[in-house]
Amino acid sequence: MSIQESIKIQDMGDIGLVEFDMVGEKVNKLGTPMMTRLREVIAELKKSKFKAVIFKSNKNRIFIAGADIEEIKGITTKDQFDKVVAMGQQIFNELEDLPMPTIAAVNGACAGGGCEFIMACDYRIASEDSSTRIGLPETKLGIIPGFGGCVRMPRIIGLQAALDIILAGKLVNAQKAAKIGLVDQAVHPAIMMDQAVKMAKELIAAGGKKRRKTFEPKGMMNKMLEGALRGVVFSQAKKGVMKMTHGHYPAPLKAIEAIKKSYGMSDREQAMKIEREAFVEAATTEISKNLIHVFYLTEMVKKQTGVTGGSSAKARDVKALGILGAGTMGGGIAFTAADKGIAVRMKDINYDAIGKGLKHARELWQKEVKKKRINKFELTQRMDRVSGTTDYSGFKSLDVVVEAIVEDMEIKKKVIGLTAAEMRPDAIIATNTSSLSVNEMAAGHPNPQYFAGMHFFNPVNKMPLVEVIRGEKTSDETIATIFELSKKMGKMPVVVKDGPGFLVNRLLLPYMAEAAFLLQEGMSIEVVDRTYVKDFGMPMGPFALMDEVGLDVCIKVLKIFKKAFGNRVEMAACMEKLGTSGRLGKKNGKGFYKYDEKGYRTEVDQSIYQELGLSSPSNPLTTKECVERGIFAMINECSLALIEDRVVETPHEVDLAMIMGTGFPPFRGGLLKYADTIGSQYVVDQLEIYSSKGAARLKPSTPLRNMAKNSSKFYKS
Ligand code: NAD
């Protein structure tokens, strides 16, 4: 079939109905072939007898997903970008200039180029289906809207609402889009097309006039902010971006610049030129390449099954999930599964715990209701999916059980055996353990091929990563099932081999342990945490992170690592002292930081220095050394985990896991993309310098040295 089939015109008398249905793809996306075809269609419409045109999509729950990222990825030079963007702008201008009124009828995702397309139409109707999400996510990829989005959106919905969407890369639902004037109507999906046809007929009856929607601010203040005081809006927007990003993401700043220069301009060509130039500048940065790489990693997971090597194992469909333990993790897992339509049976040893688990889930859904993401009926529906028990009633009908009880090998093994006896012989049990051996625990299961790890991160509802742990005896079918179940729960799974700390915690531990050495060498908690957050872009500094994890847990895991990895793991003396200090971190409100009664971190607890036998911090080390010691310790450990131990198969999985599991700054493309950018030779040289000061733990690993010797990279292409 040819690309002609991807956009077709149906003759409905006075109305032309244009249907998007990209051949051979699940979604409609705007790459060169589709844009070329669109140009032909627009030319046909221009010459046609139609008095109005409606655009719709025949894809399931997708209008137009956006530009073709594959194509953007392949472009490297400024000239190439300029050409592609100029063509896109021109085609959308031709759409805007069609002689008859045009209506976009939007059902499903309408992002980036899709949103820019509908803004070049005269009218927009959106279906209230939950899949309808409209907006401009470009800044999340390090670029800016380049097909007229920076020019048309502020004109249609006003400066303030447009900046809100463009700078955060937001998508909004149909109701919100109607509220801010991005669409003219939000209607039930069943009547959307009828409404579009009705609107077209009314427009024809009224003379078929074109319109160019221009935002009308309400109230004196808004009028001033859109007019004489717009400088304030731009400077506030810039301040907001700097606060959120610490200047690490240039795209939102470029978007502000482009909008500031082009807003209100009557010369469309000139305005588009400003937008285009800003786009080209943003798109050719290393940061944009890194963010597109991260986007790719997330797309990669969507296509994966969790099993490789030509395995034909298929995932079983999981309709009902059991959870053992209704505590912090069990409650979060129950919420996440039920939220995605999976029936949940939660077992604990007493009803109090179940009550707490259910209450926690209800509170999370109530927050969703408050944010208008779901309604009260949907809340009830979700709550109805979760039931609790203190025995094994109902377990015979479950497909998978996730174990999230106390972190104790003997108890876990016993409970796994008892649970397996109450389930179908081929039912799967997955443990959420964060520090125990999945292989050892598998001995508790009578059929260990049906046993694996499913390691969620805390808080489960927010953290996207799931490490799917493959034990020595785990079957491909079990891995495929847990992998698919994780995706069904809206998570990003990465298959990891069993071993201390699996992948993410194994890499995080050296980072946290190094922070304790920095503290011992006279650095202050504030300076270290601030350096990692502001200079490097981590979401949280190592001390704040240790408080979150629990200082007792950190020390316990460090000891496990020391046993497993020997001299490579060292524990600073101050960390040993912490173990007996009664400071557990956030959970008891006493850690490196102080916490208020609601549990929010307030300030560094200055008494900790004296308590740990340290003198007042004098911050003798450079911020460069601070950052490099922690980050390079992770790279060093990763070279062993990936190259020697093959904990995961590819650098892609490491980077995805680190971004989704720890918030490693996406603009750096991931830990190993960053390592490749600075080069293995540099990492080895710096580690040599730092380790020569008596820090054997920082000696560069053999695989890393080999990489430096061969000038090779973690990513082979
Ligand atoms: P928690 O103490 O909050 O909850 C454990 C729950 O298990 C309690 O409600 C307890 O009553 C229940 N329980 C104990 N024995 C049971 C049994 N025999 N049958 C059924 N229920 C039983 O603990 P948590 O923080 O939710 O951790 C649970 C598991 O998840 C642990 O293995 C932990 O290592 C792992 N994990 C925790 C985190 C975290 O940050 N908390 C992160 C990842 C993984």
For residue 287, what are the contacts with CB-CB under 8 A and spacing of at least 6? 142, 248, 249, 250, 251, 667
Question: How far does residue 428's CA lie from ligand 1's centre (Å)?
Answer: 19
Please give, one letter per residue, the 3-state secondary structure of 169-190.
CCEECHHHHHHCCCCCEEECHH
530-537 contacts: CB < 8 A, separation 24 or more?
A: 531/623, 531/626, 531/627, 532/626, 532/627, 532/630, 533/246, 534/246, 535/246, 535/623, 535/627, 536/627, 536/631, 536/665, 537/246, 537/248, 537/665, 537/667, 537/668
The two tokens of residue 230 are 């717009």
Backbone φ, ψ for residue 180 (5° rounding): -90, 0
Residue 445 falls in the annotated catalytic set: no
Determine which of 103-112, 210-219, 448-457, 506-515 has the lowest per-residue pLDDT on average: 210-219
Residue 462, amino acid: K
Which one of the listed residues 293, 360, 445, 455 is annotated catalytic?
A: 455
Taking only the tens place, the pLDDT of each residue in 667-708 is 999 999 999 999 999 999 999 999 999 999 999 999 999 999
The two tokens of residue 64 are 């137009």
- 420 — pLDDT class (breaks 50, 70, 90): very high
Ligand 1: nearest atom to the Cα of 353: 9
Question: Mean pLDDT over all residues of the chain?
Answer: 95
The two tokens of residue 136 are 């401009």
Cα 535 to Cα 278, 463, 623: the distances in Å are 25, 23, 8
What does the DSSP 8-state code read for residue 531?
I
How far does Cα 367 stand from its chain's mean position? 20
Q: Is 254 in the pocket of ligand 1 (CB under 6 A)?
A: no
Strand order in the sheet with 109-111: 62-64, 109-111, 133-135, 171-172
What pLDDT, on a 0 to 100 scale, did the predictor assign at position 372?
Answer: 82
Q: Is the pLDDT of residue 633 over 70?
A: yes
Q: Is 360 in the pocket of ligand 1 (CB under 6 A)?
A: no
Ligand 1: nearest atom to the Cα of 357: 9
- CA dihedral (536, 541, 546, 548) positive or negative: negative
Ligand 1: nearest atom to the Cα of 411: 18
Q: Is 322 in the pocket of ligand 1 (CB under 6 A)?
A: no
Under a CB-based contact definition with an 8 Å cutoff, are residues 353 and 501 in contact? no
Question: How far does residue 304's CA lie from ligand 1's centre (Å)?
Answer: 30
Q: What pTM does this model have?
A: 0.92
- Ligand 1 atom 35 nearest Cα: 433
Q: Is the pLDDT of residue 568 over 90?
A: no
Residue 314, amino acid: K
The two tokens of residue 34 are 């589709």
Average pLDDT over residues 543-550: 95
- 190 — pLDDT class (breaks 50, 70, 90): very high
Q: Is 419 in the pocket of ligand 1 (CB under 6 A)?
A: no
Taking only the tens place, the pLDDT of each residue in 433-470 is 999 999 999 999 999 999 999 999 999 999 999 999 99
Q: Is 404 in the pocket of ligand 1 (CB under 6 A)?
A: yes
What pLDDT, on a 0 to 100 scale, did the predictor assign at position 1?
Answer: 58
Ligand 1: nearest atom to the Cα of 435: 34
Q: Is the pLDDT of residue 717 over 80?
A: no
Under a CB-based contact definition with an 8 Å cutoff, are residues 296 and 373 in contact? no
Residue 490, amino acid: G
Higher pLDDT, 189 or 311: 189
445, β-bridge pairs:
none
Q: Is 544 in the pocket of ligand 1 (CB under 6 A)?
A: no
Give the H or E element holding residue 123: strand 123-127
